[in-house]
Structure 1
Amino acid sequence: MAGIAPHPQDWLRVTPAGLLCEPGGFFIDPTRAVDRAVISHGHSDHARPGHRHVLATRDTLAIMTARMGEGRAGATQQALPFGDPVTINGVRVWLRPAGHVLGSAQICMEWQGSRAVVSGDYKRSPDPTAAGFEVEPCDVFVTEATFALPVFRHPPAEAEIARLLRSVALFPERTHVVGCYSLGKCQRLIAMLRQAGWDRPIHLHGAHVALCRVYEELGIRLGELRTATVAKKEELQGAIVLAPPAAVADRWARRLAEPVVAVASGWMRVRQRARQGGVELPLVISDHADWDELLATAEQVEAPEIWVTHGREDALIHALSLRGIRGRALHLVGRGEEDEAEEPAAT
């Protein structure tokens, strides 16, 4: 007679270095250098340098290497395609798309009949630059809670892109400068602008150039890109410029042609914060799940227990309890230091 499967809390635990799979001997998105790491995606609050062995998707490994330098993104690397299982010290591990940014993955684990899924950061809305989120039923699902309040219901990103293009048409003499993060958001905006029919060159702040080049090398077509800092002011009239959120409110943006300041972030749902940051055109475009998507995902994975890693844990745990799902805050440290997991300075 088969024994009772262990609860994931018996083999997954929070340590100062992050979430540890004890029987497997590996950490998931550790916050300090470890012997063996499984990395969900390339944002710096999840992907740190100095690990001895790193397992991730091919795209995440390429992004990590581009950002950290050769040899710093794992002394040895193992690329694992989505859906292909590998066994690590008796723990079966496979990856599913998370939909967050290019290469982003959910870490799926099974040990002695017990299954847990660590989602990393994820979104459920379409993204032409990232494989869409796939539901993996499990016993415990580990979720983020960045936008886990009912106020955060993201509109269709296509509608926000249409708002941007209407503004460009309305003010053809001005430069539209859009604050966005260098990994994921920047490339998604470019791809969505192309889908919407914008075939003119898109200008970039220097901080965005390198990762756009990596995306192109990984097969994501972005069209003609130019560096904004070398462009003449008249060339930027009627143009779209993408820059880090901090740069759009900085002296850097003053060289542009009567800039219309925009920021693309889930935080732009809070209009008061947009006004405080001097954002003329707030674009509610997020790479994280909103309130409805978090709750829908919790239902779809069919997990009786959900662990919450960072964000608005209390609100989400309460909402889950009303649906008969046990919630637990993991209190992992070091999350929310990049992309929009914390409110950007420009808001």
Structure 2
Amino acid sequence: MKIAVVTGTRPEILKNYSIVAALRRSGASFSVLHTNQHSDRLMCDVMFEEMGYAPDVVMSSPYETGRAISWLSDLFVTLRIDLVLVNGDTAAAVAAAIAALYTDRRLAHVEAGLRSFDDEMREERNRIVVDAIAHQLFTYTECEADYLRRSPELRGRVEVMGNTTVDLIEDFRDRLGPRRDGRYAFVTLHRKELTDRPLRLAAVFRGLARLAERFDTVLFPMHPRTRDMMTRHCIDPALLGAVVVTEPVSGLDALALQRHAAVVVTDSGCIQEEAYILGVPCVTVRENTERHQTILHGANRLVGFDPDAIVAGVETALRRKRGGWPPIYGRSGAGDRIVTHLLDETPRSANRTRSIEPVGLAPMSLKGAGR
């Protein structure tokens, strides 16, 4: 069996690290295919270098989803791929899923079952499409597995594998840097729901500027999309006040900065997980989240986009006990467990309980918990 591991963005490179390492140890035949959605060196090449692997084939720029589907379809045939593995809710994941569907390749989805229940969110639509196509659905926790097993429209086999980010943090813990001087907040913001709305983006920046008055440093490595949209929207950088804005940092540097931060402020799903695993309080600048259990265990707070709510959320998070949350993302070894399952798996009937009963996973939004 030959496996294609499809990536396209910075998070996928990081989350697939332990899967690629496990494939190497197994001696399996595989290729890493990169759709080049994130082509900036700081968002791509540096990540591959840190993770110790590289793509075997890279799609030429510029990235476009239709081109990616055609490119991957051709490669699956040319390389005689039997099984396609995707990770997460990215455009690369949905492009690979569609290509696998129309070339009759089996599909495995790592990070299956996450739901924000926000049908306006592109990532949510991607998750639904990929889960519907997948033959093997690997979830982080039993919560997502239960949701999928009760979803009658799915055809895939559901297995709880844990989170490969646990592997990443465990394997590189010694490289996660010394503590920085002073008390600081670490910020990441990049999602389209924020960056495409100039009034909302300006309001969040005003909230960050107020936080900068309460910390020694508010450190904000700015995503290229956020920087570009600031320019397009003519947003004055002075709105950020004393916030320290830098270029994007590497994957390990980002983990190190989170590890030693007093609080993480983000709109990223992956960062919510990383902060949880590292034991750092997180404040999420969104109105909903697909990482429900981080909210339920008190590690994460949803605050929306209002400056007052952002400041209040950070102050509340800082008053709470740091870390000590249940290990919801499992023990290390998720990459090995996934690869073992891929290599042992033969086509079988799904193990889901087909039911039209309401599922246990409920929307987690500002109307629910976390305020």
Q: TM-score category by the smaller chain?
A: 0.3 to 0.5
TM-score for both structures, normalised by structure 2: 0.37
- Identify the structure with the greater helix proportion: 2
TM-score for both structures, normalised by structure 1: 0.39
